[in-house]
Amino acid sequence: MKVCVLSGSSHVGKTNTLHRLAILMNSMQKKYKLDAAISAVPPSKIPFYGDRQYAFDELATGRKIGISTAGDNQEAIDSAFDFFAKNNCDVGFVASKSHGCSVDEIERRSRALHVTPVYFWFIWSVNGKRSRNQIQVDTAQILEAVI
pLDDT values of the chain reduced to their tens digit, one per residue, 147 residues: 999 999 988 888 888 889 889 989 989 999 999 887 776 666 566 666 668 899 999 999 999 999 998 877 889 999 999 999 999 999 999 999 888 888 999 999 999 999 999 998 876 655 566 677 788 888 888 889 888
Q: What pTM was computed for the model?
A: 0.86
pLDDT at 37: 72
CA dihedral 127, 14, 138, 147 (to 10 degrees): 150
In terms of residue numbers, what domain contains 114?
Answer: 2-146
Amino acid at 1: M
Residue type, 29: Q
CATH of the domain at 11: 3.40.50
Q: Which pLDDT score, from 0 to 100, does residue 139 have? A: 86
Kind and range of the H or E run holding 1: none
Structural domains of the chain, count? 1
d(CA 63, CA 79): 21
- Average pLDDT taken over every residue of the chain: 86
pLDDT the model gives residue 129: 67
Nearest 5°: CA angle at 8, between 96 and 115?
45
Q: How many CA atoms, within 13 angstroms, populate the side-chain half-sphere of residue 136?
A: 18
